Amino acid sequence: MSKNFTVVIATSLALSTQFQAALSSPTTDPAATEYKGKDALPLVSASATALRAQVTKLSLLAMMSPFTPSAIAGILTAVNESVLPSLVTAALLVTPNKYTKAFHTEINTLSKTTLKEFSALVEEVKLIAKQTDEAKREGKDDKDITKPDLTLSTGRVWDACDRLNDLVAKGVVGFVIRRVEEWRDLVRDAMEEIEEWDPEEGDDFFDDLIGEEGKADEDQQNDDDGDDDDDQDTAALLAHKKATLRFLKPVVQMYSVVVVNRLRITGGISLEPSENIAKLESLMANLQSIPDQVDEAAGALYEDNTDGLIRHMKQVKSHAANAVDILVSPWSTKKDARAKSSTEDKFAMWSKAWVKVLREVTRWLDETPDKA
């Protein structure tokens, strides 16, 4: 290998490591001043697209015979001097206060993944160069060198770049919509599990553990005394199951209405007013908390833990009501003036009816007495 090739390879690996560290501990970047007020997402997309194209050329050259270190060094030099710095600068410009914490984290994570996969590809090229040198010293043709990992490494870089471009294409709001729909589906899945659960089959598992012989005497003794209690417990569990499902239906509906009438709106949502970013942050925090609380409530229901069920259902109610309340007012406009109308919009009118339904289907949470 030539000295220049070795230096370029080492530079690529060092830069990738340094840039990953920079993204792990982001600080104020000098380029931020130059790009202040501009959208950083086009730069993220342009950098990812450029890296994908350069990686494609790099892979083809590394796959061809004879192996040409000078041509490969030329491509890597361009990546080192332009593409990688641009990608990292763009990622650092996607700040939490301008693009939301969640979107910032996603861009940051995907950018680090891209750098990591690019580094793995460079390592593979370095290995091929070493094998080529060894083949030459032994008088062999480098055509005999197998390069299966090169294709896999290239594909991983492509995938990382494509995921970055896909995220940029969706934008902040599209990203939020995807997350909201994922959380809605989690709640829906929990509902389906609760629907399939039969309280009357709850003792079968324990019966199987004890065995027929072990429980025969106990059954004889407790049958008469326990039947009435079992019936009452089962009836209570069925009532709680029905009430829980009745409550979760408007919660699932809320997710869909939020997407259709507040996130997927004509003209999009301006991210320039900081008020809109704050609303998105608060909205996501509340909607993300609901699936976990629903899971906890389901677990309490299965265990006949009424106190736990009520506690977690109240958390679900609180987060759902907060999410709707956050979005009652329309998004602020670029001119820092709230969109106004002589009449309430569709979501605001829907929210009033939804709050009434929520109040009705959660009345049992306040009426159900705690267990002694």
Q: Would you state the structure tokens that stand for residue 333, as one six-digit string?
A: 């406009």
Residue where the block lists tokens 């997350």:
179
- CA–CA distance, 104 with 93 (Å, rounded to integer): 9
User: What whole-number percentage of the chain has pLDDT above 70?
Assistant: 82
Least confidently predicted of 21-35, 56-70, 208-222: 208-222
- pTM of this structure: 0.84
- CA–CA distance, 66 with 7 (Å, rounded to integer): 21
Torsion of CA 357, 370, 285, 354, to 10 degrees: 0
pLDDT band of residue 205 (cuts 50, 70, 90) is very low
- CA–CA distance, 144 with 197 (Å, rounded to integer): 61
Residue 75, C-beta contacts closer than 8 angstroms, at least 6 positions apart: 54, 57, 58, 61
Is residue 76 a contact partner of residue 119, using CB atoms and an 8 Å limit?
no
- CA–CA distance, 89 with 44 (Å, rounded to integer): 8
Q: What are the structural domains, with CATH classification, of the chain?
A: 3-170 (1.20.1420.10), 197-367 (1.20.1410)
pLDDT of 34-71, one tens digit each? 556 578 999 999 999 999 999 999 999 998 888 889 99
Q: Would you state the structure tokens that stand for residue 48, as one six-digit string?
A: 């990812």
Cβ count near 313 (within 10 Å): 26
pLDDT of 106-140, one tens digit each? 999 999 999 999 999 999 999 988 888 887 777 66
Phi, psi dihedral angles at 215 (to 5 degrees): -100, 0
Length of the chain: 372
Half-sphere exposure of 294 (CA within 13 A, CB side): 28
